[in-house]
Amino acid sequence: MSDNTNLVDRITGHRRMRRNRKADWTRRLVRENRLTVDDLIWPIFIVPGSGIVQPIDAMPGVNRMSVDKAVEAVKEAADLGIPAVATFPNIDMALRDETGSNSLAADNLINEATRAIKRAVPNIGIITDVALDPFTSHGHDGILRDGEIVNDETVEVVARAAVTQADAGSDIIAPSDMMDGRIGAIRQALDAAGHQNVGVMSYATKFASAFYGPYREAIGTGGLLKGDKKTYYIDPANGTEAIRDAALDVEEGADMLMVKPGLPYLDICWRMKEAFGLPVFAYQVSGEYAQVKAAAANGWIDGERVMLETLLAFKRAGCDGILSYFSVEVARILAKR
């Protein structure tokens, strides 16, 4: 047999992986994962005032927007088919205090944005972050007492803040503070207030990561933060602990789970999907965005291709969707295909 005439055929036994890769049409035919606009959640930053579009230094292409400008941008996102936005407020420094009390105000910036977006763009989903960090004078996600972020009191405030967000029209509450028991407390508070249809997307596995730097510039907590968040976010070294933490959130009633940051934690995405079968979302965070933009600006990588590859990698890792600052840019590219 000619079997013995060819070294590679003898080694591979005629199994050649490259046959399916030989042409664009074969590659398209066997492609396992696809990124679509339906996978995208767009995080946006809101500032007080009107007519404001403010670039963020460490996130080229991302702006803080006043509510009126945010509404215009969200309209565009909806027209591109993006299913949902996630809003993050940059609260006036004068309104920040030790306990984050402005988080409970029915008319605070995040709730004002929700109302305006709901009114103008009723068909897009609104996901609101319910942590206290935009509202505290020390930049922590909880109430700080004697040097400690106190868990149970923080949970009470976060659950009440969640209700004000649902009252304003938020569709999904996304607590990012990592206090113990918050998912159950939020679920109970929402139900007691008649918000049975408002969902909870748990930032189930949020790691104490250095990738959040540019975000803290965006919402103005960078300079404020005293210490670090290691007593409440998960140690980046721990995968099994992350799954245990997520299991509690599932028991407490989370509808969706999130992994944050994204790309360095794809193993966690996969394990979460396998363990629970719930919808899993990755948050491709500010530092991940900044890395791609900075390297692309230097001509070191092809920014567009890297951006698309990172997002596809989340799909391969089992994610149902991605919170990404690239969302609008990507949606425009996908619309042209």
Active site residues: 206, 260
Question: Which helix (DSSP H) or strand (DSSP E) does residue 17 occupy?
Answer: none
Q: Is 41 in the site for ligand PBG (CB under 6 A)?
A: no
Q: Is 290 in the site for ligand PBG (CB under 6 A)?
A: no
Whether 281 contacts 266, CB under 8 Å? no
Whether 208 contacts 235, CB under 8 Å? yes
Q: Is 286 in the site for ligand PBG (CB under 6 A)?
A: yes
Measure the CA–CA gap between 111 and 117, rounded to whole angstroms.
Answer: 10
CB of 98 to ligand PBG, least distance (A): 17
Q: How many other CB atoms sit within 10 Å of the CB of residue 181?
A: 16
Q: How many other CB atoms sit within 10 Å of the CB of residue 40?
A: 25
- Neighbour-count burial of 137, counting CB atoms closer than 10 A to its CB (0-12 exposed, 13-18 middle, 19+ buried): middle
Comparing CB distances to ligand PBG, the nearer of 208 and 243 is 208
Instruction: Name which position in 41, 131, 259, 317 contacts ligand PBG (CB under 6 A).
Output: 131
Q: How far is CA 328 from its chain centroid? A: 14
CB of 20 to ligand PBG, least distance (A): 37
Q: Is 217 in the site for ligand PBG (CB under 6 A)?
A: no
CB of 56 to ligand PBG, least distance (A): 11
Comparing CB distances to ligand PBG, the nearer of 111 and 176 is 176
Q: Is 143 in the site for ligand PBG (CB under 6 A)?
A: no
Q: Is 229 in the site for ligand PBG (CB under 6 A)?
A: yes
Whether 18 contacts 62, CB under 8 Å? no
Comparing CB distances to ligand PBG, the nearer of 97 and 191 is 97
Measure the CA–CA gap between 283 and 8, rounded to whole angstroms.
Answer: 43
- Which stretches of the chain are DSSP H helices? 7-12, 24-30, 67-79, 109-120, 151-168, 182-192, 213-219, 240-251, 266-276, 286-297, 303-316, 327-336
Cis amide prior to 261 (ω within 30 degrees): yes
Instruction: Name which position in 84, 121, 141, 149 contacts ligand PBG (CB under 6 A).
Output: 141
Q: Is 215 in the site for ligand PBG (CB under 6 A)?
A: yes
CB of 131 to ligand PBG, least distance (A): 3
Comparing CB distances to ligand PBG, the nearer of 9 and 153 is 153
Residue nearest to ligand PBG (CB): 215
Q: Is 176 in the site for ligand PBG (CB under 6 A)?
A: yes
- 184-213 mask for ligand PBG (x: CB under 6 A)? ----------------------------x-
Q: Is 307 in the site for ligand PBG (CB under 6 A)?
A: no
Comparing CB distances to ligand PBG, the nearer of 194 and 227 is 227
With the C-alpha atoms ordered 287, 283, 233, 188, is the resulting torsion angle positive or negative? Answer: positive
Q: Is 281 in the site for ligand PBG (CB under 6 A)?
A: no
Instruction: Quote the longest CA-to-CA distance of the chain.
Output: 84
Comparing CB distances to ligand PBG, the nearer of 129 and 252 is 129
CB of 285 to ligand PBG, least distance (A): 3
- The two tokens of residue 213 are 């730097």
Q: Which residues bind ligand PBG (CB under 6 A)?
A: 129, 131, 133, 141, 176-177, 212, 215-216, 229, 285-286
